[in-house]
Amino acid sequence: MPLERYVGENGMASLLAFIHAGQVDSSDRGPWFSSPEEFTELLRRLTIPHYEEARRYWGKATADGEFDGANEVSPYQQRTLKRIIETYSQQESEA
């Protein structure tokens, strides 16, 4: 999904249409995403600084126990995202 479509002047209007089309009669359509998790992931990618880069390393960080004991917010906080980027991009460049 190209992220460019959901940023800028009309980005939020496009995003919100995934949930509800607004004035358009959308009674025969539900949300366009298959799950709330899918929509949340898109919002994170668009709105949380450093998340898009950090998610490249998410699997490695998870396997290394980076998120053990984390609550629902801490993986997405700036200090965590920056640490993931720094740690795993450095490992990648050393390989």
- Same domain? For 43 and 70 the reply is no
- Same domain? For 34 and 54 the reply is no
Cα 83 from Cα 9, distance rounded (Å): 31
Tokens 């126990």 correspond to 65
- Same domain? For 16 and 2 the reply is yes
- Same domain? For 54 and 35 the reply is no
- Same domain? For 7 and 40 the reply is yes
Whole-number pLDDT of residue 53: 97
Cα 35 from Cα 60, distance rounded (Å): 24
Domain span at 34: 1-47
Say if CB 5 and CB 18 are below 8 A apart.
no
Cα 59 from Cα 24, distance rounded (Å): 40
Say if CB 81 and CB 46 are below 8 A apart.
no
Mean pLDDT for 36-49 is 89
Q: Give yes or no for residue 88 having a pLDDT over 60.
A: yes
- Per the structure, the count of domains in the chain is 2
Whole-number pLDDT of residue 20: 67
